[in-house]
Amino acid sequence: MKFTLRLVSAIWLSVMLVIGAFAYLQIRDERERLVSDLQRRAVLIGEGLSDALEPAAARQSSAAVERILKKLGPAQRGIAVYDRFATLMAATPDVAGTLPPSLPEVTDTVSRNLPTQGFRVLGDVNRFVYATPLIYDNQPVGAVAVFLDASHLNQIEWDRWSYSAIRFLVLAAVISIIAALVVKVSITRPMAEISEWTRALRSGRPVPPPNVADANLFGPLALEVSRLARSMQRAQAAAQQEAALRLSGESVWTEARLKQFVGQQLAGRLLVVVSNREPVSHVWRGSQIHAQAPASGLVTAMDPVMRACGGVWVAHASGDADRETADARGRLGVPVDDPRYTLRRVWLTKEEEQGYYAGFSNEGLWPLCHIVHTRPIFRPDDWAYYLEANRKFADTVLDQIKDAEAPLVLIQDYHFAALPALIKAERPDARVAIFWHIPWPNFEAFGICPWQPELLAGMLGADLIGFHTQYYCNNFLETVDRALEARIDWERFAVTRGEHETHVKPFPISVAPEFVDEPPRISRAELLRRLGITAEFVGVGVERIDYTKGIPERLRALRYFFETYPEYRERLVFVQLAAPSRTTIKRYQDIQHEVEDTVREINQMFQTKTWRPILYLKAHHEHRDIWAYYRHADFCMVTSLHDGMNLVAKEFASVRDDEDGVLILSRFAGASHELRDALIVNPYDLAGMAEAIRAALEMSPDERRLRMIRMRHSVVEHNIYRWAGLLLSELARIPVEMAGAKAS
């Protein structure tokens, strides 16, 4: 009944809006036509009287003006003549008694020496007023005003609205009766049958779905209800699991829990996250602007945190349509359809972006911190641009927090080593943390950097420095101990320089427990059909094209696998999703060519008319697109040569609520310390990786299930909400006097 009322109300509202809009436009056009007619008549009268009245007005002879008006006879009514001071000289009898001492239209005409018109109520009669100047010997001598009866305008409008109202009532009533009948026959009755079926399902009785008249409409509903029943069972199991965890003193971190925790810990203080990568960029595709999420582990991790906590995310504007989608200060709400936090974009010049990002950050610090045998390149110009970009980000952050009391600033990654000290120098009351998402090498390796002391001093401006593992924390402290004059507290893992103390702690980053809120409904068969392949087994790899990810090593291991185990030819297809990255850097161009050449070589070696071993998809892939590959792969390969954490491994486990699939994981990825039930491999050992692929394909279902359950438990328990909660809790616990001390 409520639905029918809402539907009828919506129909009435829609009909009223449509008829009302057309009635308004019709009445407006009719009124404009009538006013135009009044104007033409008034102009003819006013201009016709001007020649006769101008000499009398010039002599200021009221008697002469009255005689002229009397000569006009009773046919001409509604005329008044004013002197050059806008004072009434004479008027026809029908308006003489109703004229006010001062008439704005006449005053305006005399002062500007231009005709003026308007509507005025005189003696309870709505009149159209037209005033035109009187000019004698090129000198203004007064004005003549014409008053025409305009009362018929209101009557015409009222008649039109009355007619439209009657038409609305008749049309709305007819449509409402028809809609009510359709609802009863097509919706209410089938919904009652589905309701009975749902009640039977809830009671545990297995009954077939009802035969509804419109299967296209209600068939999906019946399917979703059955899925909902299974989801309710899983939810009950999850609730029982969490209850057990609570009894044992543990609990799973969720978005709601993090939101409540942050509300208590921050007590209304502003949270600002700073990163180079923005959570969403806007790009032009033809004449349309499209939003896209970057292929970034940092964004994968931080976006759920910001959705839960709110605040401001300061990031480099990387899309060519970013300016068109932000306000004058570079701000916009994210997500666009349901804003939960603010994105504040920072604009860099091409030279700054090249020097700070491609140059110093990714040709210098990136290979320096990753042990992948790529020589780091350090240029003085790149260092200067790096400092300039950090200062620009500092100015943006300081502008964002200028009115905030004791804000929290969470800086992300190696792009901003100088930023903590810049912020603390201006806002010592701010609590500042920097999280280093990539490895930290030993002190001898980091000593290669010519500006090592400056980088360390900038980072130590923070109150808290976070790494993925304790090993990286130890490397950092040893580097500081060798490079700077500072007191190292090895028991508390803290560094003191002057009066400022910086804590250094491990916070292994993770992903949200649910990788995709509403995953796409795509089966394995549909996925294979879209890819144009047939296969008994499917493997998947998901990476940016980066020399640290071990993609060529992985491909060579697959070649070794097909050579060693030919029985899997034409049975296994490996799908490599590769997002182009940092394509302006020669080393990245080289790795891209190496990957493409290796794929081509392997396919030419083994492919048949109906099968090829490797499907290489080089493109940017949205998270919803990746979900299907994770979900339906028999195994996922993460073969990083060196990685701080690698969230692809955790994303794969978070998707597999079917408790199936095998993860092949590099021992040199930080995730290997947590996901011990993966098949841990050395990415430089081709035979070892080939054997891991064989083991994944031949592993028993029970073992696959037990391994995946344990990995999923690790990801769920140590999820991104827990990471954020622990990091923010540690930062919020910093004493006020420490936060207020000047950074040295």
Q: End-to-end CA distance of the chain: give it in Å, rounded.
A: 70
Burial of 19 (0-12, 13-18, 19+ CB in 10 A): middle
What's the pTM? 0.67
Indicate the pLDDT class of residue 240, thresholds 50, 70 and 90. Answer: low
DSSP collapsed to 3 states, 550-561: CHHHHHHHHHHH
Q: What is the pLDDT of residue 241?
A: 45
616 within 8 A of 592, measured Cβ to Cβ: no
471/109: higher pLDDT: 471
Architecture label for domain 524-718: 3-Layer(aba) Sandwich (3.40)
147/465: higher pLDDT: 465
User: Is the per-residue pLDDT at 231 higher than 70?
Assistant: no
Q: What is the pLDDT of residue 556?
A: 97
Q: What is the pLDDT of residue 166?
A: 85
User: Is the per-residue pLDDT at 224 higher than 80?
Assistant: no
Q: In what order do the strands lie in the sheet with 125-136?
A: 88-91, 79-83, 139-149, 125-136, 116-122
**Mean pLDDT confidence for 710-726:** 92
Q: What is the pLDDT of residue 204?
A: 53
User: Is the per-residue pLDDT at 227 higher than 50?
Assistant: no
Q: What is the pLDDT of residue 214?
A: 55
Would strands 431-435 and 408-412 be described as parallel, antiparallel, or unpaired? parallel
Read off the tokens for 388.
């300039």
Q: What is the pLDDT of residue 246?
A: 59
Residue ranges per domain, the chain? 2-154, 258-506, 524-718
434 within 8 A of 465, measured Cβ to Cβ: yes
User: Is the per-residue pLDDT at 140 higher than 50?
Assistant: yes
**Mean pLDDT confidence for 240-264:** 69
Q: What is the pLDDT of residue 207?
A: 56
**Mean pLDDT confidence for 333-361:** 92
Cα Rg, the chain, nearest whole Å? 39
Q: Which residue has the tokens 């054997």?
A: 691
Q: What is the pLDDT of residue 736?
A: 54
> Which segment of 259-268, 415-424, 735-744 scores lowest on mean pLDDT?
735-744
| Percentage of the chain exceeding pLDDT 90 | 53
**Mean pLDDT confidence for 696-718:** 95
715/58: higher pLDDT: 715
The chain-wide mean pLDDT, for the chain, equals 87
- Distance, CA of 459 to CA of 697 (rounded, Å): 46
Fold of 2-154: Beta-Lactamase (3.30.450)
Indicate the pLDDT class of residue 124, thresholds 50, 70 and 90. Answer: confident
- Distance, CA of 591 to CA of 363 (rounded, Å): 14
Q: What is the pLDDT of residue 187?
A: 67
User: Is the per-residue pLDDT at 433 higher than 60?
Assistant: yes
Q: 311's torsion region: left (phi>0), alpha (psi -120 to 50) or beta?
A: left
User: Is the per-residue pLDDT at 690 higher than 60?
Assistant: yes
Q: What is the pLDDT of residue 739?
A: 45
**Mean pLDDT confidence for 165-185:** 78
- Quote the longest CA-to-CA distance of the chain: 123
Q: What is the pLDDT of residue 209?
A: 57
Q: Do the two domains 258-506 and 524-718 of this chain adopt the same fold?
A: yes
**Mean pLDDT confidence for 106-114:** 87
User: Is the per-residue pLDDT at 346 higher than 60?
Assistant: yes
Burial code (b: 16+ CB inside 10 Å, e: under 16) for 684-708 equals: eebeebbbbbeebbebeeeebbebb
Architecture label for domain 258-506: 3-Layer(aba) Sandwich (3.40)
559 within 8 A of 335, measured Cβ to Cβ: no
Q: What is the pLDDT of residue 105?
A: 86
Q: What is the pLDDT of residue 203?
A: 59
